[in-house]
Amino acid sequence: MEKFNRLLTVMRKSLSELVQAIGGFIVMSSDLDAMYLSLTNGVVPANWAKVAYPSLKPLTSWFEDLLKRMEFMNNWLTNGNPTAYWISGLFFP
């Protein structure tokens, strides 16, 4: 869960910075520009991929998969041990 929380933190922070840069409140760095291009092209941004699990999926499929993983973890945390474990959903080298 710590690794997923780290990924979500990076996503939240970088998206917030991107919104501020687009609005002109902060300078658009090369990393934010690369992230913007990745998002517009439907590719997982490099700064997210660096802290995420390996995947070759495009951005929309990757995000849907991330939501399913987060739902699985949340159910496990709030409802106790599941009757069956999603082994590939736990994979995070």
Q: What is the pLDDT of residues 8-64, one digit of tens each?
A: 999 999 999 999 999 999 999 999 999 999 999 999 999 999 999 889 999 999 999
Angle at 72 between CA 67 and CA 77, to 5 degrees: 120
3-state helix, strand, coil in the chain (%, to 5): 65, 0, 35
Summarised one tens digit per residue, pLDDT across range 66-78 is 999 999 999 999 9
Asked whether the beta carbons of 57 and 65 are under 8 A apart, the reply is yes
pLDDT score, position 19? 96
